[in-house]
């Protein structure tokens, strides 16, 4: 090393902020007394995920309110229907896409998509699982491209058209 080359002096350290003691955890909420046999409020739910009908109802209304009301009451007759229950996810997805896009091309407005209610899981698994993969995946597929551009509204079907095991899909004009 040459004497002409000087080693730069280290930069002074910035003063560190004073260390504060960790905040005390919040005081636990008192538990209301409970006695066996007392009335329970069944309006509350312990489900972490909302049900299918509830999650569809939370979505915005994109169609005429009067037509939507008649559709939900089962007073509108679907122009076409597809029955997906019994299919695997790999079979159902392309079949649904073909049906929805073909129906829109033919000028249909209201179609019925039958997913089935799903098989009830009778075995006691360590973690609860929702039954009916098609029933829960089909509404999501309808809101993703390429179907999102063709679909105006999705709603659970009336009992006369399949109830919990079917969906009304109202297509764009």
Helix (H), strand (E), coil (C) string for 1-48: CCCCCCCCCCCCCCCCCCCCCCCCCCCCCCCCCCCCCCCCCCCCCCCC
pTM of the model: 0.68
Strand, coil or helix: 99: helix
Structure tokens at 59: 């979505």
d(CA 126, CA 149): 40
Higher pLDDT pick, 142 / 129: 142
Cα 80 to Cα 69: distance, rounded to the nearest angstrom: 19
Position 91 scores a pLDDT of 96
Over residues 51-64, the mean pLDDT reads: 86
Residues 73, 101, 61, CA angle at the centre, nearest 5°?
40
Least confident span in 50-64, 75-89, 91-105: 50-64
Rounded CA-CA distance 155/138 in Å is 12
Helices (H), 33-88: 52-58, 65-72
pLDDT band at residue 58 under the 50/70/90 scheme: confident
Q: Across residues 72-99, what is the average pLDDT?
A: 95
Measured between alpha carbons, how far is 144 from 148 in angstroms, rounded to an integer?
Answer: 5
Asked if the model's pLDDT at residue 113 lies above 70, the reply is yes
Indicate the pLDDT class of residue 21, thresholds 50, 70 and 90.
low
Length of the chain: 173
Q: Report the alpha-carbon distance of residue 139 to residue 130 in Å, rounded.
A: 15
pLDDT at 39: 76
| Strand bridging mode 80-83 / 110-114 | parallel
Domains of the chain (ranges plus CATH)?
78-119+130-168 (3.30.1370.110)
pLDDT range class, residue 86, cuts 50, 70, 90: confident
Residue 19 scores a pLDDT above 70: no
- Give the pLDDT score at 165: 92
């Amino acid at each position: 090393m040459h004497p002409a080359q000087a080693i730069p002096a280290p930069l002074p350290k910035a003063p560190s902020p004073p260390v504060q003691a960790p905040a005390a955890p919040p005081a636990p909420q008192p538990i209301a007394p409970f006695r066996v046999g007392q009335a329970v409020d069944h309006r509350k739910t312990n489900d972490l995920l909302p049900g299918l009908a509830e999650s569809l109802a939370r979505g915005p209304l994109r169609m005429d309110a009067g037509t939507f009301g008649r559709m939900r009451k089962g007073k509108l007759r679907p122009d076409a229907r597809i029955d997906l229950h019994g299919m695997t996810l790999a079979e159902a997805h392309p079949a649904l896409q073909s049906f929805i896009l073909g129906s829109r091309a033919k000028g249909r407005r209201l179609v019925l998509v039958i997913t089935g209610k799903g098989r009830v899981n009778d075995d006691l698994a360590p973690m609860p699982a929702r039954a009916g993969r098609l029933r829960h995946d089909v509404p999501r597929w309808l809101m993703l491209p390429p179907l999102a551009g063709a679909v105006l509204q999705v709603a659970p079907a009336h009992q006369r058209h399949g109830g919990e095991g079917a969906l009304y899909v109202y297509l764009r004009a």
